[in-house]
Amino acid sequence: MRKFRKVLDGLTTSSPASTLGSPSCGSGAGTPTAAPTPKEIDVQETLLSENFQLCKTVRHGFPNQPTALAFDPVQKLLAIGSRSGGVRILGRPGVDCYCQHDSGAAVLQLQFLINEGALVTACADDTLHLWNLRQRRPAILHSLKFNRERITFCHLPFQSKWLYVGTERGNTHIVNIESFILSGYVIMWNKAIELATKTHPGPVVHLSDSPKDEGKLLIGFESGTIVQWDLRGKKADFRIYYDEAIHSASWHHEGKQFMCSHSDGSLTLWNLRNTTKPFQVTFPHGKIQKDGRKESCKPILKVEYKTTRNSEPFVIFSGGLSYDKAGRRPTLTIMHGKAITVLEMDYPIVEFMALCETPYINEVQEPYAVVVLLEKDLIVVDLTQTSFPVFENPYPMDIHESPVTCTAYFADCPPDIIPILYSIGAKHKKTGYSHKEWPISGGTWTLGSLTYPEIIITGHADGTIKFWDASAITLQMLYKLKTSKVFEKPKPGESRAAELGEEDPFAVQMVSWCPQSRMFCVVGISAHIILYHFSKHEANTQIESLEVHLQCESEDVISPSENENDPCFSESGSHSPQAHHQQSVSPVSGTPEVNKHSIPWLKVKDRMVRVPPGYQAELVIQLQWIDGEPPQQITSLDMNSAYGLLAFGNCNGLAVVDYLQKTVLLCMSTLDLYGAADPYQRLTRSPRRHRQSTSEFCMRGLSNFYSDSKKRIRTSYQSLTELSDNQQSIDMERSKSPTSDHVNGHCTSPTSQPCSAGKPRAQMGPEGPRLTRRGPGRPPFRKAQSAACMEISLPVSHTEGYASRRAMLQQLHGVTMYSHDEHHTTAPYCWSEKATESRENSFSRSRSSSVSSIDRDTKEAITTLQFGESYGRKSDAITTPCLWVGTSLGIVLVIPVSIPTDQEERMEEPVTFGPSGAVLMLKGSVLRVGFLDCSGTLIQSPYEVWRDINAAEDPDRPRKRKLVHFSPSSSQESYADGHLAVVCSERQAKVFLMPSQSCLFVHNITESSFVLRADVVSVCNSVCLACFCANGHVMTLSLPSLRPLMDVNYLPLTDMRIARTFCFTNGGQALYLSSPTEIQRITYSQEMCDNLQEMLGELFTPIETPEVQNRGFLKGFFGGNAATFDREELFGEAAAGKASRSLAQHIPGQAGMEGMKVAAGGVVGELARARIALDERGQRLGELEERTALMMTSAESFSKHAHEVMLKCKDKKWYQF
């Protein structure tokens, strides 16, 4: 211990980082020479590169932009294809598999090989793929690429290995499923139609074999032509020419009739005895008008004709409504006898499919349910009940019910929190579902060995919060919280939301949750914060509210040249939080006179409200409007239940609220936080003409000016950025990396208004009026979009703008901030905001203001906040409560907090803050702060043990606050050893030793990109720093030595959705929103990758195929059922020959399960095994060579002896032997 103390003493004297505010420590990478090695500070790092491997685990949610649907009636599996080339295979809860085509082409059609454990996909790039489902992670076995024709329809008969493929040219090809080779048998379109027909029949839209005879193939062409093709005779049995285009066809199970749906909204029923005209024509939704004509109807896109034993057949179709009413919802119509039921859907219908008891098409179908695939939902309708109720969906298909705006991931939660949330959430579930079990029940799934409580929290654009149980790689909704219930419903014309056209004023921007104390904090896009406590009991309560003035701007400061005698500049260090509190904070009901321009965005309910069990609002904090201008977005938040404090900041400053006493303790600008320790010199501005009192907006700390050299740099920089049409500046911008600039902050706001500092001033003198922040009618906030609404499109020319981290910041975090960095580019990204309905790629410039000068962009935002037990000053001997503040300039401030320890004093005595005793510096905006003790163990933040404040109190045992603290060490002697602080910024990670503030380790994470997310997480009973960069790299660094352990180029940042929703958690897991409707979970732990196969569900289970029903002698005799149809004899190479090689190209698929295991096993282990095998083989070859030599020697000896015997006996007679 003495040696250790000597090392620390040496650090305090020799480390370059020990000087207050010295930036020398942050300039170089690697380890400072004066810092001790991990061995000297006695930290045993156990993590190695072998402990990390990155792989996807599971995907939750509704498949984005679905296109196709398939069902296996024996295995009870459902497959959904999407436009991005993804395939989701669903079974019983827990069986959920995601597959992705490498090409990314849209999936046009899916066909199960029923009860075979295989799936055929037809994609938009005219490729067929065969997937093997007999493994937990399906793989492609074969692919067939069509070169000269486009695929439009596929059909695979039950228990057949020949797949019929219809094309855009009207031809029908046949593919062998086993070998994935094209047969020479082709049904050409000109042979299918009559020779006298002069027009092309159009693409093939339907293929099906006759239930009566498998040798008959029904071919439907888009133009209205229907042909039944005799496969044996290679001729057409009949041809039907109908006036209306055909969309689909469906057989009666006896094979004597079939039904077609048409583009005019009609259904035609055809009888094979007479195909000259339809047996029946119906317009299910077409009414007869006064003039006797039928009103025009929308096309019926699909029809299914299903029979039952004991009742009338079902006719189920989508579409067909009349055009008379605009804006009618999409419908699914179920006709059962004379009863017609119309089911209205919330979204357009993509596909539907009736689920039947039997897989045989020539048996009574007995449909029991209908799966309806909508654009944004999956519905299963129960057909066995007359009211047609819907099954309760066990999958998390409603993540996108309102667009997701933020996410949070918590692993290893307290085990009691999930049952409690579930029990409360179950009381508010919808009713009216079918009482039968979910019909999609295929596969098997069991709990794996690596299971622990996990919770995912999603925030949404409508202000709702959803808690999800994410344990054991499943996802189930636990509890739903509506934050909008805290506020009054705005009356027409009275609210700012209505006045300014804001559609999503309650959108959730970020959340903070303490699972131990169950305190929950929500930040909204309207610059409001809601604090919730958890209770099992309902209560009548009044929600308290605070208004905070956090609009400190350097534009509002009078320059010293004009006000040299202003007292607010002479006392730069004498800031009083209490005095500032009186000026900048006013409770809602505090003052009778309320300025109209300072009314908050939303009005909190000021009456007693009855709140149900669960999360109950305790306090609402709102930022004030100033002069009719909206407050800036909140960029950082932290809450600590043990301290009873809540801190938040934006690009203007920092505020700290005592939520126990419901008071504001601290509210000041970022510049005021430094006091005399400001490491930067700042440029003042000209005063505003229309302004409030000078003392209210006074900025202390602006008395220092830039040196002449810095002014010259700024001037040259301004000239460079303003002359954007200069070819030299264009070339310079082109030469920079698109990701070489910088995103500041740690906020996840998708919609915001940039700071006014980024706005250019009006072209007039100082006496002119002030330029307003927004134009006429422009809302202060954009509509809250989901985490998937924005995409970065890197510019292709200088006319579309240049890639810039600062412009990216303005979209990602909603604030304009200045970053202390080596390089700056000023032109913003070119953004594309996708509407949910529009599929066009319309590109537009960022709505945030372009930055033309650093002088106009000197906002320093609060980007991260962290409460914890630490040392506020170098001279501190013991830890005290501290608030660590990180800014967009790469500065970290440590503010000590004095909190009364006694419970009664805590509720009465004020909490005080000391001056900042530590200023640490890094490159780029600070993202994360974490604490370790000197043995390398993670120090958790202190918390209060949860207590139900609404429960009946025992008078004999009054409830007291029970606090849990995690100190760096338990003994008083070890307090002097301090602890380690891990600080990560966009470019750099540093480990500081507290209280000496010495920089022990430095690592430059990236030079060409920037870090978006960083967190100190526990993996494999140790701790590491996990980072996600904008260039798609996921990295882990050891702690405290910051040694790189993993660097994987996983996911290039292509849209803002990933940047805003990516989050790490303990156990080596992370997640992000992979699409507007899906959450992708990944792991970077080798242990979890090894156990992933055990955790995933089995898709295929061995099930005997149902036997064919006994049709009876008379029905079989008179039914005219043909003899067994041998497709192999007809389509095989011997009879049909080989297809043209230029028509389609066979592509071998990936290896099976064994190959995937080898790939997952790691390269090192495989090389070692291969080396051992080679050694063994060489040894065996050596032994074989020795044996061969011995045999050759023996053979030569035998030959010699035989020759001698022959010579000896050559001249002897027989009687001489």
Model pLDDT for residues 1048-1104, shown as the tens digit of each residue:
999 877 778 898 899 999 999 999 999 999 999 999 999 999 888 888 889 999 999
At which residue do the structure tokens 């604490």 appear? 931
Cβ atoms of 548 and 584 within 8 Å: the answer is yes
**pLDDT score recorded for residue 24:** 37
Backbone angles phi, psi at 56, to 5 degrees: -80, 145
- The conformation of residue 626, written as its DSSP 8-state character, comes to B
Distance CA(656)–CA(647), nearest Å, equals 4
Report the pLDDT value the prediction gives residue 502, as an integer from 0 to 100.
61
> What are the CA-CA distances from residue 759 to residues 211, 702, 774, 856 (Å)?
72, 21, 10, 7
| Whole-angstrom distance, CA of residue 344 vs CA of residue 388 | 12
pLDDT (0 to 100) of residue 817: 43
| Mean of all residue pLDDT scores within the chain | 77
Q: What is the DSSP code (8-state) at residue 322? A: B
Q: What is the pLDDT of residue 163?
A: 95
Residue 278 has pLDDT above 90, yes or no: yes
755 in Cβ contact with 817 (< 8 Å): yes
Nearest in space to 210 (alpha carbons), one of 1108, 1109, 1122: 1122
Q: Is residue 544 predicted with pLDDT exceeding 90?
A: yes
Identify the CA nearest to 295 among candidates 265, 319, 339: 265
Residue 199, Cα to own-chain centre: how many angstroms? 50
Contact 144, 182 (CB under 8 A): yes
pLDDT at residue 319, as a whole number: 92
Confidence of residue 251 (pLDDT cuts 50, 70, 90): very high
Cα distances (Å, whole numbers) of residue 931 to 9, 382, 627: 21, 55, 42
At 1173, the pLDDT band (50, 70, 90 cuts) reads: low
Q: For residues 1062 and 743, what is the distance between their CA atoms, to the nearest angstrom?
A: 15
- With a cut of 70, say whether residue 825 has pLDDT above it: no
pLDDT digit string, tens, across residues 1136-1170: 778 788 888 899 886 444 444 434 444 444 554 56
Residue type, 833: E
More confident residue, 783 or 415: 415
Residues in contact with 602: Cβ distance below 8 Å, sequence separation at least 6, in sequence order: 487, 488, 490, 495, 497, 505, 506, 526, 528, 622
- Bond from prior residue into 995 cis (ω within 30 degrees of 0): yes
pLDDT for the residue 85: 96
Distance CA 790, CA 1199 (A): 88
Q: What does the buried/exposed string (b/e) look like for 803-828 if buried means 16 or more CB atoms within 10 Å of the residue's CB?
A: bbbbbbbbbbbbbbbbbbbeebbbbb
Rounded CA-CA distance 130/1150 in Å is 11
User: Interior CA angle at 88 toward 86 and 91, to 5°?
Assistant: 170
For residue 196, name the pLDDT band (cuts at 50, 70, 90): confident
Contact partners, residue 416, CB within 8 Å, separation at least 6? none
DSSP letter at 1138 equals B
pLDDT at residue number 1139: 79
Q: What is the mean pLDDT of residues 223-241?
A: 93
- Tokens describing residue 675: 């006091």
Of the given ranges (227-231, 541-545, 1199-1203), which has the lowest mean pLDDT?
1199-1203
Specify whether the CB–CB gap between 310 and 364 falls below 8 A: no
Omega before 330 within 30 of 0, i.e. cis: no
The span from the CA of 18 to the CA of 8, in Å, is 12
Residue 827: pLDDT over 90: no
Residue 1044 has a pLDDT of 95
Q: Which residue has the tokens 């409508």?
A: 462
Residue (of 93, 70, 95, 91) closest to 81 by Cα position = 70
AA letter at 34 = A
Provide the pLDDT for residue 157: 94
Pair of tokens at residue 1097:
């569900």
Question: Higher pLDDT residue, 67 or 829?
Answer: 67
Query: Residue 510: beta bridge partners?
Result: 523
Q: Other CB atoms closer than 10 Å to residue 477's CB: what's the count?
A: 18
CA distances from 240 to 223, 237, 523, 626 (A): 11, 10, 64, 74
Mean pLDDT, range 1007-1012, rounded to an integer: 92
Give pTM, 2 decimals: 0.77
Residue 740: φ, ψ to 5°: -80, -15
pLDDT for res 918: 82
Alpha carbon distance 996, 870 (integer Å)? 12
Distance CA(449)–CA(970), nearest Å, equals 34
C-alpha of 260 from chain center: 41
What the block records as the tokens of 329 is 């919802």
Residues of the chain above pLDDT 70, percent: 71
Phi and psi (nearest 5°) for 325? -105, 125
Backbone phi and psi for residue 797, each to the nearest 5 degrees, phi listed first: -150, 165
To 10 degrees, what angle do helices 708-722 and 727-735 make?
100
* Nearest-10 Cα torsion for 634, 638, 641, 643: -100
Mean pLDDT in residue range 114-138: 94
Q: Please state, in angstroms and rounded to a whole number, the distance separating the CA atoms of residues 666 and 550.
A: 10
Query: Among 138-147, 571-580, 1073-1082, where is mean pLDDT lowest?
Result: 571-580
Q: Quickly tell me which residue has 């005080």 as its tokens.
A: 912
Tokens of 1120: 């005219």
Cβ 1105 vs Cβ 74: under 8 Å? yes
When pLDDT is cut at 50, 70 and 90, the band that residue 973 belongs to is: very low
Q: How far apart are CA 1011 and CA 188, in angstroms?
A: 58
pLDDT at 784 > cutoff 90: no
Can you list the positions of beta strands (E) in 1044-1196?
A: 1044-1049, 1063-1065, 1069-1075, 1078-1085, 1144-1148
Count Cβ neighbours within 10 Å for each residue of 598-610 and write b for 16 or more, e otherwise. Answer: ebbbbbbbeeeee
Q: Which H or E run includes 1153?
A: helix 1153-1160
pLDDT in tens, 699-754: 222 223 223 333 332 333 333 233 333 343 334 333 333 333 333 333 333 333 33
> Per DSSP, what are the bridge partners of residue 180?
none
Look at residue 495 in the predicted model and tell me its pLDDT: 54
Q: Which class for 200: exposed (0-12), middle (13-18), buried (19 or more C-beta within 10 A)?
A: middle
Distance, in Å, from the CA atom of 625 to the CA atom of 597, rounded to the nearest integer, reads 6
Distance CA 996, CA 877 (A): 11
For 313-339, how does the pLDDT look when each residue is reduced to its tens digit (9 = 90+)? 999 999 998 887 777 889 999 999 889
